[in-house]
């Protein structure tokens, strides 16, 4: 045999021996080298398509910055468009976990789809990093050793805005959202803070996701003459809502507040209709830290786009994976150690450094932001180090 061929064979033999030593099977292959398989389960079509793309971009940027490797191993990407359709979630999750045998799933955006994905990831003990969807259950009753989130719980930004409006002395607020977990749980968080400090949610209104026929609801809100309105909309639907609200002539009549998704990644399309809107979120423009500036420059240069909260969440999902893979030196079969390392990580995020709660959700500052031109300019911290209560999680 040629010497070079021998040299090529030797590592394979060593790998096989290592595989036998740790019990063989698929996990042994993972341990033996090759690429780490990352599966993106994200919306690439529909009202949340831009969010899915920003998450993927952010994730890939961090990996690129590490020379394309995490834990000493190259990354191979797989992707599935989940279409923000909860009915297809189990099948889409199985495509990545069963068919492609990925080491980690990064997904998803929509809270309803997330419920199905969490279930399949738990059944298979596959590492799952949630780069957006806030569904409270994922870091609540459905929490798991292998389930992590780089984003927020639906409760968190709502709670932050409820706190701000109560402090401002507002009394009577109407809420308006899409009727699914993200909207409903944002309102719950909002209500919890707002009503505990003396405010009252006088009416909760909603329409099915992803409908954008807002007209009748907007007319109804105006007739109620509340002190303010609190809404949850995001992506393409948020663009339409903000424009419809202004077109109805309510922009300077009834104060409109929201979780920051209403104006993140959307300002170019919303234009004048969004100016002056105040929101709460775990990211903002103009934070001014060196970490954030470097990230923003690199993102803009790589993708010819301004980063938004979704890009940050994708970037941080990669940082969380990196903390895990680094600790196990790329051996994804050492699951208990992998999970422990992610759990204990301090993530140096562009939003500001954060750690994870016991239930694996970021403990982070919520900023108050105000739209100015194409930016959600930070105007202060609404709530510092806000931790989701993680109700019902036993870990």
User: Measured from the CB atom, is 43 or 330 closer to ligand PHB?
Assistant: 43
Provide the 8-state DSSP code for 86: G
Among 37, 73, 79, 110, binds ligand PHB (CB under 6 A): 110
**Selected range binding ligand PHB among 28-36, 56-64, 129-137, 164-172, rule: CB under 6 A:** 129-137
**Selected range binding ligand PHB among 95-103, 131-139, 195-203, 297-305, rule: CB under 6 A:** 131-139
Spacing of C-alpha 83 from chain mean position: 16
Q: How far is the CB of 187 from ligand PHB (least distance, A)?
A: 13
User: Measured from the CB atom, is 19 or 317 closer to ligand PHB?
Assistant: 317
Q: Name residues whose C-beta falls within 8 Å of residue 377's C-beta, 6 or more positions apart in sequence.
A: 284, 285, 286, 369, 370, 371
Residue 294 dihedral angles phi and psi, to the nearest 5°: -60, -45
Q: Is the peptide bond before 313 cis (omega within 30 degrees of 0)?
A: no
B/e letters for 107-134, b = 16+ CB within 10 Å, e = fewer, are bbbbbbbbbbbbebbbebebbbbbbbbb
Q: How far is the CB of 154 from ligand PHB (least distance, A)?
A: 6
**Selected range binding ligand PHB among 29-37, 130-138, 197-205, 374-382, rule: CB under 6 A:** 130-138
Among 54, 89, 234, 311, binds ligand PHB (CB under 6 A): 234
Residues 9-48 that bind ligand PHB (CB under 6 A): 48
User: Measured from the CB atom, is 30 or 313 closer to ligand PHB?
Assistant: 313
By CB under 6 A, tell whether 251 contacts ligand PHB: no
Burial class of residue 282 (count of CB atoms within 10 Å of its CB; 0-12, 13-18, 19+) = buried
CA distances to 186, 210, 351, 383 from 157, rounded to whole Å, are 7, 21, 14, 9
Q: How far is the CB of 16 from ligand PHB (least distance, A)?
A: 44
Q: How far is the CB of 258 from ligand PHB (least distance, A)?
A: 10
Q: How far is the CB of 215 from ligand PHB (least distance, A)?
A: 23
Q: In what order do the strands lie in the sheet with 147-149?
A: 69-70, 73-81, 36-42, 104-106, 127-130, 147-149
Q: Where are the alpha helices (DSSP H) in the chain?
A: 3-21, 26-31, 49-65, 89-94, 111-124, 155-167, 181-196, 215-224, 235-247, 267-270, 290-303, 309-327, 335-344
What is the H or E stretch that residue 81 is in? strand 73-81
Provide the 8-state DSSP code for 261: G
CA distances to 27, 123, 199, 380 from 166, rounded to whole Å, are 52, 42, 6, 16
* DSSP code per residue over 305-330: S---HHHHHHHHHHHHHHHHHHHTTT
Over the window 45 to 64, marking each residue x when it contacts ligand PHB by CB under 6 A and - when it does not, the resulting string is ---x----------------
Over the window 168 to 207, marking each residue x when it contacts ligand PHB by CB under 6 A and - when it does not, the resulting string is --------------x-------------------------
By CB under 6 A, tell whether 279 contacts ligand PHB: no
User: Measured from the CB atom, is 44 or 261 closer to ligand PHB?
Assistant: 261
Q: What is the largest CA-CA distance in the chain?
A: 86
Residues 70-109 that bind ligand PHB (CB under 6 A): 109
By CB under 6 A, tell whether 111 contacts ligand PHB: yes
Report how many residues bind ligand PHB under the rule CB under 6 A.
12
The answer to whether 129 and 139 are in contact (CB under 8 A) is: no
Measured from the Cβ of residue 200, the count of other Cβ atoms closer than 10 Å reads 13
User: Measured from the CB atom, is 70 or 277 closer to ligand PHB?
Assistant: 277
Residue with structure tokens 């780490």? 36
Q: Closest residue (Cβ) to ligand PHB? A: 234
Q: How far is the CB of 182 from ligand PHB (least distance, A)?
A: 3
Q: How far is the CB of 113 from ligand PHB (least distance, A)?
A: 8
Q: How far is the CB of 34 from ligand PHB (least distance, A)?
A: 34
Q: How far is the CB of 110 from ligand PHB (least distance, A)?
A: 4
Among 133, 161, 218, 383, binds ligand PHB (CB under 6 A): 133
Would you tell me which residues interact with ligand PHB (CB under 6 A)?
A: 48, 109-111, 132-135, 154, 182, 234, 261
């Amino acid at each position: 045999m040629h010497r070079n061929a021998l040299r090529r064979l030797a590592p394979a033999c060593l790998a096989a021996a290592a595989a036998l030593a740790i019990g063989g099977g698929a996990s042994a292959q993972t341990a033996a080298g090759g690429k780490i398989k990352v599966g993106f389960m994200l919306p690439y079509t529909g009202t949340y398509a831009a969010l899915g793309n920003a998450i993927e971009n952010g994730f890939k940027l961090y990996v690129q910055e590490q020379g394309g490797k995490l834990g000493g191993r190259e990354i191979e990407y797989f992707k599935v468009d989940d279409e923000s359709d909860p009915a297809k979630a189990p099948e889409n999750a199985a495509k990545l976990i069963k068919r492609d045998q990925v080491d980690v799933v990064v997904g998803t955006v929509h809270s309803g789809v997330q419920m199905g994905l969490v279930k399949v990831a738990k059944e298979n003990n596959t590492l799952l990093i949630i780069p957006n969807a806030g569904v409270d259950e994922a870091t609540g009753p459905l929490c798991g050793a292998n389930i992590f989130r780089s984003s927020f719980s639906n409760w968190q930004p709502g709670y932050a805005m409820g706190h701000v409006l109560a402090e401002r002395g507002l009394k009577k607020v109407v809420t308006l959202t899409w009727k699914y977990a993200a909207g409903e749980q944002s309102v719950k968080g909002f209500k919890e803070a707002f009503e505990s400090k003396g405010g009252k949610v006088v009416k909760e209104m909603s329409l099915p996701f992803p409908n954008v026929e807002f007209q009748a609801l907007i007319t109804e809100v105006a007739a109620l003459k509340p002190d303010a309105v609190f809404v949850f909309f995001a992506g393409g639907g948020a663009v339409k809502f903000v424009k419809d609200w202004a077109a109805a002539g309510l922009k300077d009549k009834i104060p409109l507040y929201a979780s920051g998704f209403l104006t993140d990644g959307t300002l170019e399309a919303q234009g004048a209709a969004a100016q002056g809107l105040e929101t709460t979120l775990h990211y903002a423009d103009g934070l001014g830290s060196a970490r954030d500036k470097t990230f923003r420059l690199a993102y803009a240069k790589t993708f010819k786009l301004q980063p938004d909260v979704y890009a940050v969440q994708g970037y941080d999902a990669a940082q969380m994976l990196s903390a895990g893979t680094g600790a196990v030196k790329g051996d994804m079969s050492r699951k208990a150690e992998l999970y422990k390392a992610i759990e204990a990580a301090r993530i140096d995020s562009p939003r500001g450094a954060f750690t994870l709660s016991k239930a694996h959700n970021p403990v982070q500052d919520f900023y108050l932001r105000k739209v100015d031109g194409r930016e959600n300019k930070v105007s202060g911290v609404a709530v510092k180090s806000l931790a989701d209560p993680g109700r019902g999680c036993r870990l």
